[in-house]
A and B are shown apart, each in its own frame.
Chain A
Amino acid sequence: MSDFRGKQLAALQAKIAALESSGRPDVGCLPFGAPEIDVCLPGGGLPLGRWHEITGVGMEVETGAAPAAFTALAAAPLARRGEAVWVMRRDDLWAPGLIGLGFPADRLICVCAKDDADALSVTEDALATVGVSCVIAEVEDVDLTAGRRLQLACERRGATGFVLRRRPYGGGARQDATGSAAATRWRIASAPSQPAENLYLGDPRFQVVLERCRGGRTGAWILEAEKAYSWEAGDVAHPLRLVAPVGDRELAPATPRTRRAA
């Protein structure tokens, strides 16, 4: 029962926030808890009520494992405030793995779309729905119009979108300009873990590059998943912990791309 009340309360809060700031709701942000990262982001944390673009590196562009894990961790605190929707093209997301990361799989609605256009319109629909706090969409590409539409959908209820860019298996590389409507763009790669006793695997680590950030600065860090994090525990800590900063230039050659104006 408490779950239901909590949900209602969260939806109520979201609604009030939307009423207070007519049109564009300022639904705040989600701080990482590490000043090094938060200072780069506008408002001191991951902006909510916007959408974020997340991409992978190398093979991960197709398998999308590390980006998905990072997204699940970043979105886990949001799932506490309402329902989460995961829109995918391939249904290879495995709920026991989500549970292992501390993401509440029983609050997740999975949707399998037929193509990119379908996935984007489903995402838009879900973002504008009462009671949905975050939507994660796996699509290949978001063009300017679709990105703008996603942004408008986010603003209607203050829901947060995560667009996980994932290429279909065997698809050709597509490197076109995308997503200038996104609030941030992240590039995620997995990083070797550092277990305490040098025997087994440690907590998953990610090499995170904030490639673009509206109203903020870019940066690169190594983050580690908090083992003890559980979305139910009500702890304020973010499920991702900063381990080490990475020099900006260090990662730049890995992605030889022409610079675009932010």
Chain B
Amino acid sequence: MAAVRRLHAVNAAGKAQGLSVGQKATDAKALVPDLVTAEAEPEADARALSELVDWCVRFSPAVAADGTDGLFLDITGVSHLWGGEAELMADLRTRLKANGLPFRLAIADTPGAAWAISHFGKDGTIAPPGGQAALLAPLPPAALRLDPDAVAQLQRLGFRRVAQLMEIPRAPLGRRFGAHTLMRLDQALGRWGEALVFRRPPTPWVARLAFFEPISAPEDMARVTADVCARLCTKLETHGQGARRFEVGFCRLDGKVLPIEVGLAVPGRDAARLAKLFAPKVETVDPGFGVDAVLAWAYEVEPVSGRQGNALGSLAPAPEDGLIPLVDRLANRLGHDRVWRAAPVESHVPEQAVRRAPVLEKAKRDATPWDPEAPRPLRLFRRPEPLEQVFAVTPDEPPKQFRWRGRMHQVRRAEGPERIGEEWWSRDIGDVSIAHVRDYYRVEDQDGGRFWLFRAGLYGDPEAPPKWWLHGLFG
């Protein structure tokens, strides 16, 4: 049976004709014969909302999506950049209108009150500080973002306005309609905190540059990147902080925000160096019809002591002069996982004995270093390669010959075995098997090639006959 097709959303004209969300499509067609419908695309809607959230970052660093069709902006401490809340709202209104989106705006002390007023109150209301109760009072209870069940019950019992809910004692209210209702009421009135899930973690380390005219020339883009970095770095410097990660977002005229990011190996705030790291990435940004604002964020901020100019002048190079910039350059160019220092891990399983440590993490020496006496190959294959035509005289003896990559190797000398078992303590006991035991041999063939091969499993088990593998090459 085909699912009943219902209306997902209705525009203002449709509403005027008596259509409503959730109505059957056939009923709607009967009501309005020339109705134009389009397939609902919830994923595309969600994507558009998240793009809108990104776009709103130009107004405040703290933007949270609300449900499927709304968003919250935390404008605490940013409205003065526009000259006040009203001016900010006016700017937002002009820009949203230019995008052709229908919208309703409200400013209030709490997210709950702002939601209520924007959805049920007058569009564009700015609640004075502490004055949301008076504005909420005439609104219906549904404005409190309650469950549909609670709303229905409130309706049934004759609660038509939020004011009525505010009047009755709290205890019976909570008992009858649930703690959730009480919490929503308190959140709207600012008696209970509300955590918003912001798109970006809120950070005070933001710098912003807006332009009168949109820019698009590559040299302009590079210059504003340097400028916004300098602004952010000054802020960091006055607070004695440095950051490991920097992000610059270009707000394009068409509403997209294009972010680029660089990371530093040690926290820093050198604007000139940052600009150099950003330079190759700025070139990849497509300015479209122009960029009218640039933002910079700093993440993983931590205190950094200022570095004194070296008394020896340029003669004594410190790691800051050579190694750290090199690591930053390489990591930002190739990717952070492509530059590393090998560090020991306390595991006798060869594949797990090495971890990739950050290059400048030198102080940590918790794991015992590798044993220089143990025979270990210079090249270790990520996956051991199977050997064919292996011939060993007796069990527990290295092979006399083997075939690898289509070539026969006659073993002249060998040493071993070195038995390496699996780490049975770190996995499910049911998976532990004698077939996972490996006996490693170091062998040398007729030409002097040295190989690290192993036999997995033991002889005598008819179900799992031992197999030979090549795991690495010695020089």
Contacts and interface: CB of A to CB of B under 8 A. Distances in A.
Given A68-B475, A97-B379, A110-B339, A201 B354 contact: no
A92 B354 CA distance: 12
A207 B448 contact: yes
A110 B342 contact: yes
Interface in A38-87: 59, 63-70, 72, 83
A44 B69 CA distance: 77
Interface in B348-390: 350, 353-354, 356, 359, 362, 369-382
Contacts of B166: none
A100 B379 contact: no
A95 B405 contact: no
Contact of B415 (A102, A191, A201): A201
Interface in B310-340: 315-319, 321-323, 325-327, 329-330, 333-334, 338-340
B71 to A, nearest CB: 39
Interface in A99-152: 99-102, 105-106, 108-114, 118, 122, 125-126, 129-132
A130 B316 CA distance: 10
B370 A200 contact: no
B414 interface: yes
A29 B362 CA distance: 30
A100 B342 contact: no
Given A65-B475, A66-B475, A110-B341, A130 B378 contact: no
Contacts of A130: 317, 321-323
A190 interface: yes
Contact of B375 (A8, A11, A100, A106): A100
Interface in B403-437: 405, 407, 412-415
A101 B378 CA distance: 9
Contacts of A93: 378-379
B450 interface: yes
Contacts of A94: 350, 354, 376-380, 472
B381 to A, nearest CB: 6
B319 A109 contact: no
A79 to B, nearest CB: 13
Given A108-B341, A113-B338, A192-B448, A97 B354 contact: no
B473 A63 contact: yes
A205 interface: yes
B252 interface: no
A132 B316 CA distance: 14
A101 B382 contact: no
A65 B413 contact: no
A201 B414 contact: yes
A11 B322 contact: yes
B265 to A, nearest CB: 11
Interface of A is mostly: mixed
Contacts of A99: 369-370, 372, 376
Given A111-B339, A132-B323, A201 B444 contact: yes
B440 to A, nearest CB: 13
Q: Determine the interface band of chain B, counting residues with CB < 8 A from chain A.
A: 35 or more
A129 B338 contact: no
Interface residues of A, number: 58
Contacts of B356: 110
A109 B450 contact: no
A200 B342 contact: no
A162 interface: no
B447 interface: yes
B353 A193 contact: no
Contacts of B370: 95-96, 99, 105
Contacts of A205: 448
Given A110-B339, A125-B329, A200-B415, A98 B378 contact: yes
Quick one: which of B372, B474, B475 has the most chain A CB within 10 A?
B475
A152 B359 CA distance: 26
Contacts of A15: 315, 317
A228 to B, nearest CB: 11
Interface string B447-465: 1111000000000000000
B442 interface: yes
A55 to B, nearest CB: 14
B352 to A, nearest CB: 12
A206 interface: yes
A84 to B, nearest CB: 11
A58 to B, nearest CB: 8
A24 B369 CA distance: 39
Contacts of A68: 378-379, 475
A97 B317 contact: no
A192 B379 contact: no
Contacts of A113: 334, 338
A96 B374 contact: yes
Contacts of A102: 372
Quick one: which of A8, A11, A67, A96 has the most chain B CB within 10 A?
A96
Contacts of A193: 413, 444, 448, 450
A255 to B, nearest CB: 15
Contacts of A59: 405, 407, 449
A97 B379 CA distance: 7
Nearest to A202: B413
A204 interface: yes
A18 to B, nearest CB: 11
A206 B378 CA distance: 15
A69 B475 CA distance: 5
Given A70-B475, A95-B354, A129 B334 contact: no
A12 interface: yes
Contacts of A83: 323
A191 B377 contact: no
Interface in A152-204: 189-193, 195, 199-202, 204
Interface of B: 315-319, 321-323, 325-327, 329-330, 333-334, 338-344, 350, 353-354, 356, 359, 362, 369-382, 405, 407, 412-415, 442-444, 446-450, 472-475
Q: Which 7 residue pairs spanning A and B have beta carbons closest together?
A: A69-B475, A130-B322, A95-B342, A97-B378, A65-B473, A94-B380, A96-B376
Interface of A: 8, 11-12, 15, 59, 63-70, 72, 83, 92-102, 105-106, 108-114, 118, 122, 125-126, 129-132, 189-193, 195, 199-202, 204-207, 230
Given A106-B341, A189-B447, 15 more contacts: A59-B405, A95-B370, A97-B378, A100-B373, A102-B372, A106-B342, A109-B340, A110-B339, A113-B338, A118-B334, A122-B330, A130-B322, A131-B321, A190-B449, A193-B450
